[in-house]
Amino acid sequence: MIQNKPFLFAAAALLTASVISGGVMASGSGPHWTYEGHEGPANWGELSPEFAACGAGKMQSPVDLADANADGQVTVDFNYSPAELEILNNGHTVQFNVANGSTMTSEGKTYTLAQVHFHTPSEHPISGKPFAMEAHFVHKAEDGQLAVVGVFFNEGASNAALKDVFTNAGTATAHEAKVAGASVDLRGVIPASPTFYRYMGSLTTPPCSEGVNWFVVKEPVEASAAEIAAMTKAFGHNARPAQNANARKIMKPAN
């Protein structure tokens, strides 16, 4: 397990507030930031003292997964149930919140799924090359520690598990709304037998708080060109560039 326990527990409250109370960082919450220009990723750390980790942090996410430098077996058990669709656009991403008790367990620790959001293109590249899209499944343990499962998307067949998300992305507003008759097959989004990159990192948006457990699925899934275009149209380019690995241990998939 790659962790610094004193830091993780000290940061737990800030991490929870940043992620759970409004997605990645809700529009209108805290200083304004964007993905381009003066308020873009290169300057996030200078926009506010509360964003200092974005510039000064040493365990920032995302990272280029080609920097994976350690071998090890990473096992994740998913206990996901289908969820009613409760969708919103917080100004930086489209996300849907989950409150049906779905969980993931790794290394004996269980995390409850809180929300899923999207980035186009993917935030984690491999040798500098991103995928078309990346979904982040954000979980929280009872002690406040966060775990994020990243899932890559290539352009291909329509994604049945997320069909209702893509259909409603363009009409999502800043206010969470339940979509009548719409649902998400949470387990159906993730490959049946996934393998993982594993490392300790941060939120990929301000305040860029560190102490986040990352599990990035090696095997990409598919979404149609129209589905990816719908997400891109809803929020545009919203991928933070890869950050310096700083000699961190980044575990690569076992196969």
Q: The domain containing residue 216 runs over which residues?
A: 5-27+58-252
For residue 63, being part of any structural domain is answered with: yes
| 68-115 tens-digit pLDDT | 999 988 999 999 999 999 999 999 999 999 999 999 999 999 999 999
Question: Using CA atoms, how far apart are residues 17 and 96, in angstroms rounded to an integer?
Answer: 17
**How high is the pLDDT of residue 73?**
87
Question: Using CA atoms, how far apart are residues 87 and 132, in angstroms rounded to an integer?
Answer: 21
**How high is the pLDDT of residue 30?**
76
For residue 189, being part of any structural domain is answered with: yes
Joined tokens for residue 233:
């149209």
**How high is the pLDDT of residue 22?**
38
For residue 37, being part of any structural domain is answered with: no
- In a 10 Å sphere around its CB, with 0-12 CB exposed, 13-18 middle and 19+ buried, how is residue 84 labelled? middle
CB half-sphere exposure, 136, CA atoms < 13 A: 31
For residue 105, being part of any structural domain is answered with: yes
Q: Identify the DSSP state of 50.
A: G
For residue 187, being part of any structural domain is answered with: yes
Domain count along the chain: 1
Joined tokens for residue 91:
């100004």
For residue 52, being part of any structural domain is answered with: no
**How high is the pLDDT of residue 19?**
53
Question: Using CA atoms, how far apart are residues 16 and 212, in angstroms rounded to an integer?
Answer: 11
Q: Is 134 in contact with 150 (CB distance < 8 Å)? A: yes
**How high is the pLDDT of residue 29?**
57
Place of tokens 């986040």: 212
Report the CATH number that the domain containing residue 244 is assigned in CATH: 3.10.200.10
- Asked about 92 being catalytic, the answer comes back as yes
**How high is the pLDDT of residue 24?**
38
For residue 43, being part of any structural domain is answered with: no
Residues lower than pLDDT 70 in the chain: 1-29, 255
Q: Is 28 left (phi over 0), alpha (psi -120 to 50) or beta?
A: left
| 157-168 tens-digit pLDDT | 999 999 999 999
For residue 247, being part of any structural domain is answered with: yes
Full-model pTM: 0.90
**How high is the pLDDT of residue 10?**
39
Question: Using CA atoms, how far apart are residues 218 and 216, in angstroms rounded to an integer?
Answer: 6
Could you say which of 32, 92, 117, 175 is catalytic? 92
Question: Using CA atoms, how far apart are residues 103 and 47, in angstroms rounded to an integer?
Answer: 35
